[in-house]
Amino acid sequence: MKRTAHTILKQLAILTCLIFVLGAGLPAAAQGQEKLKVGIIHIGSINDAGYNQAHSEGVRVMEKNLPNVEVIQVENVPEGADAERVMENMIKQGAKLIIPASFGYLDPALKVARKYPDVKFVHPGGYKLAPNLGTYWASTPEAFYMVGIAAGKTTKTNKAGYVVALPISFFLANINAFHLGARSVNPKFETRVVFMGTFLDAPKEAIAASALLDMGVDVLGVIVDSPITVVQAAEKRGAYSVGYHYLGAQKFAPKGWISGIAFTWGQLYTRFAKQVMDGTWKSEGLFGNLTSDFLTIAPFGPAVPADAIKMVNETKQEFVAGKKNVFQGPLKDNKGMERVKAGEAFPLTGIGKMDWLVEGIIGQPK
């Protein structure tokens, strides 16, 4: 009996060791390890059919792709000290990856990142890096050019209006690209621009949209956080609309929808989370393009002619192949000054310095 008991104990010891060794190779979920907690903060509502909803749906796709990820999400967080407090609270809850999803969160995120070097941060559109903070965005002028082609072929009045948050270089480049795309198929095309001075002011956006429609434009574009006000204003007046940020904005303008530029962040966020979990994440400035899975041309609406869609698809292939440049010279600004000489092209990498609007656009950066 003693020898039998000894044998049993020995076998149990061996079995315990085997379980321990085999368990080391099991997935984290099978070993009962904690989930990766990901915190994301938004400047506005996650139901804005625009900037914030695109980010929110991105983390939900990530969560679906990775069952071992848990999301902590807070909306309507002001930039500055409030953002710092929310991020720190997420970290206290165990978050190891933070997405401060607003341009103005960059400096607050850098401050928090310095305090918590073991936490990773990824910031949209930022221009500063830290050892544990990276940035991401996508180059959009080519996409705006393509949507401009669709607008130029769809318009009846040859006039478009753009409601834009601020006259910053990247937005000016997008408006210029849209206009040049439209003019490539419709030389009579005209674009009027109104700057809001803010990313979200629905009453002010409604006034701007109405004023542009009263001027005879029948295409409205928008570069603010939420496109809802502007695309609905166009739909109510029987005009066409172009969206930005979110793939699902079409539901607010089912008849007049042309298309839009959307950010589909889900797969990128999935990659970020995987990198944090497996220890391969690194700080970098990631800048996507038309071949990236997070920059998408929204589906075309029923009013867009078939030949326009064909031209858009052909133009995309030219861009991807490097055979076409959005800002190919000669180009003048809307004050008559030559900005790009014949035979030259303004590089997409230089759009951060673009402070002018091209010929044919009515409106001035302030």
pLDDT tier at 168 (50, 70, 90 boundaries)?
very high
Whether 230 and 271 share a structural domain: no
Whether 193 and 322 share a structural domain: yes
Mean pLDDT in residue range 240-258: 96
| Cα separation values, 193 from 31, 196, 322, Å | 57, 10, 30
Mean pLDDT in residue range 63-89: 97
pLDDT tier at 365 (50, 70, 90 boundaries)?
confident
Range of 70's domain? 36-138+265-288
Residue 276's pLDDT is what? Answer: 98
Is residue 148 domain-resident? yes
Is residue 177 domain-resident? yes
Whether 324 and 355 share a structural domain: yes
Is residue 21 domain-resident? no
Is residue 203 domain-resident? yes
Whether 185 and 325 share a structural domain: yes
Backbone φ and ψ for 315, nearest 5 degrees, come out as -65, -40
Secondary structure (DSSP) of 128-190: --BTTEEEEEE--HHHHHHHHHHHHHH-SSSEEEEEES---HHHHHHHHHHHHHHHTT-TT-E
pLDDT tier at 24 (50, 70, 90 boundaries)?
very low
Is residue 11 domain-resident? no
Tell me the CA end-to-end span of the chain in Å, nearest whole number. Answer: 94
Mean pLDDT in residue range 210-239: 98
Whether 113 and 43 share a structural domain: yes
Return the closest-CA partner of residue 243 out of 229, 159, 267. Answer: 229
The answer to whether residue 18 scores a pLDDT higher than 50 is: no
The CATH number of whichever domain residue 43 belongs to comes to 3.40.50.2300
Q: Residue 295 pairs with which residues in a beta bridge?
A: 263
Whether 209 and 320 share a structural domain: yes
pLDDT tier at 34 (50, 70, 90 boundaries)?
low
Is residue 339 domain-resident? yes
Give how many domains the chain has, as a whole number. Answer: 2
Whether 115 and 200 share a structural domain: no
Backbone φ and ψ for 37, nearest 5 degrees, come out as -95, 130
Is residue 1 domain-resident? no
Whether 189 and 320 share a structural domain: yes
User: What tokens does 140 get?
Assistant: 């959009």
Residue pLDDT, tens place only, 81-91: 999 999 999 99
Is residue 296 domain-resident? no
Whether 210 and 149 share a structural domain: yes
Residue 26's pLDDT is what? Answer: 44
pLDDT tier at 110 (50, 70, 90 boundaries)?
very high
Whether 246 and 355 share a structural domain: yes
Q: What is the CA radius of gyration of the chain?
A: 25
Residue percentage of the chain with pLDDT more than 90: 89
Residue 17's pLDDT is what? Answer: 41
pLDDT tier at 224 (50, 70, 90 boundaries)?
very high
Whether 224 and 354 share a structural domain: yes
Strands of 19-124, DSSP E: 36-42, 69-74, 95-101, 120-124
Whether 188 and 199 share a structural domain: yes
Residue pLDDT, tens place only, 260-288: 999 999 999 999 999 999 999 999 999 99
109-118's contacts with Cβ under 8 Å and 24+ in sequence apart are 109/83, 109/133, 111/84, 112/84, 112/87, 112/88, 115/88, 116/88, 116/91
The per-residue pLDDT of the chain, averaged, comes to: 92
